[in-house]
Structure 1
Amino acid sequence: MITHGLSGFAAVVLAGGQATRLGGFDKASIEVGGRTLLALALDAVVDAAEVVVVGATVPTERPVTFVLEEPRHGGPVAGLLTGRDALLRTPPTLAVLAVDMPRFDHASLRRLQEAAVGHDGAVLVDDGGRRQLAFVVETARLDAVRPGLEDQHGMSVRALLDGLDLAEVPAVGREARDIDTWADLRDAGD
């Protein structure tokens, strides 16, 4: 159970998807408002003691560790666990964010951290109640539900976290919107 929400965390940014609906274009390098999606994601986790980006290495303004998920293109659970394994230290809590959520920011993360106190973590939910790839979780609890390598490929994050007590935090404004298509990118500038 998380007993404090605002300190002692590391972050994993998931940027290793195939972006098939974007023709395979690297999402981390897409710009919204003159900044890359990766730069926006790194701004959201600016207070993290350590950041691992799961995806291809690209230039950043901040020091981060880049890794590729194992198995390659194994899905978000494989990416999350590869990122967790790349951390130099085991933090009390872990923030996880998909790179394609340009409106999720530092204030969004703080709301998740505050809501996680007294729970195993907290997850952002959209207007329809669907959990998003933006959450915080107690690292020890994540480690306790970790599947074997052979079970990670294609596993959903929802299935991975299903047994955990996660507070659901409703999205404010457009912070739960992600960029999966060119139309999403066009609308992200509004």
Structure 2
Amino acid sequence: MRSDRAIAGVILAGGRATRMGGGDKCLLEIGGKPLLEEIIARLSPQVAALALNANGDPARFARFGLPVVPDADDARDGPLAGVLAGMDWAASEGFAQIVTVAGDTPFFPTHLVQALRFAAVSEGTPLARAETPRPGSDRFDRHPTFGLWQVGLRDDLRAALAAGTRKVVAWTDPHGCARVSFDGEDDPFFNVNTPDDLEKARAR
């Protein structure tokens, strides 16, 4: 029986990477190693177990030693499909919660899981998401793929996907979702979407 405090991590890498010309963004190299290696190193100390959500042949990720969980029927219905795949894997492993991170975002906070869990417990919500203050504004940028999710909501999420829900916040917010602000001089949720982004990440 897992402790209620045990949280699993899921790296979401199931997208098509169209702005990078296709392929797996998480296998692009920065600092002489794949993005995925940096993400694993940053997330694994924060969680009790770790899996990768990716579609297609899992053999291409064999060197990383992670279980690879695809979207149901390789549907590729956006990040919520990856979250559901992660929830189903976590449920089979006995976890009650997961924290997800994006597979193209190598600089996320090293206290991400702790902060998300603290916010969810403090506010009594089953979900929590990351955000950052927008410079020169009182508004915040949302980073909903960086979130904490109660695995017990997976059937609700499955039904929502079947009904056509694709936008993350359209599903999370009605359930109650704590918001956690992460400050930083450099954007901690900078993600690699284009070749120019990749060069910026390499410079960092």
Residues 29 and 38 in structure 1, CA contact (< 8 A), matched pair in contact too: yes
Q: Distance in 1 between matches of 2:154 and 2:132?
A: 26
The 5 A counterparts of 1:9-158 are: 9-46=7-44, 47-56=46-55, 57=58, 58-61=61-64, 63-72=65-74, 73-87=76-90, 88-118=92-122, 119-128=125-134, 129-132=140-143, 133-140=145-152, 142-143=153-154, 145-148=156-159, 150-151=162-163, 155-158=166-169
The code of the aligned residue for 1:108 comes to L
SS of the residue 1:106 aligns to: coil
> What is aligned with 2:173?
162
Q: Distance in 2 between matches of 1:44 and 1:110?
A: 13
Per-residue deviation at 1:162? 1.8
Per-residue deviation at 1:10? 0.9
Matched, 1:180 2:186: no
Q: Distance in 2 between matches of 1:36 and 1:177?
A: 16
In the alignment, structure 2 segments of 5+ residues that lack a partner are 135-139
The code of the aligned residue for 2:72 comes to E
| Residues 1:184 and 1:171: Cα distance change in structure 2 (over 3 Å) | farther
TM-score between both structures, scaled by the size of structure 2: 0.78
Structure (1 or 2) with the larger CA radius of gyration: 2
In the alignment, structure 1 segments of 5+ residues that lack a partner are none
Q: Distance in 1 between matches of 2:126 and 2:9?
A: 16
Per-residue deviation at 1:77? 1.0
Residues 108 and 175 in structure 1, CA contact (< 8 A), matched pair in contact too: no
RMSD: 2.2
**Deviations 1:125-162 (Å, cap 9, x if unpaired)?**
1334232111112322x33632425235x612111212
- Aligned-pair identity in percent equals 27
SS of the residue 1:45 aligns to: helix
How many residues in Structure 1 have an aligned counterpart in Structure 2? 182
TM-score between both structures, scaled by the size of structure 1: 0.83
The code of the aligned residue for 2:17 comes to A
Q: Distance in 1 between matches of 2:181 and 2:200?
A: 21
Per-residue deviation at 1:13? 1.0
The code of the aligned residue for 1:12 comes to V
SS of the residue 1:95 aligns to: strand
Q: Distance in 1 between matches of 2:71 and 2:15?
A: 10
Which has the larger share of helix? 2
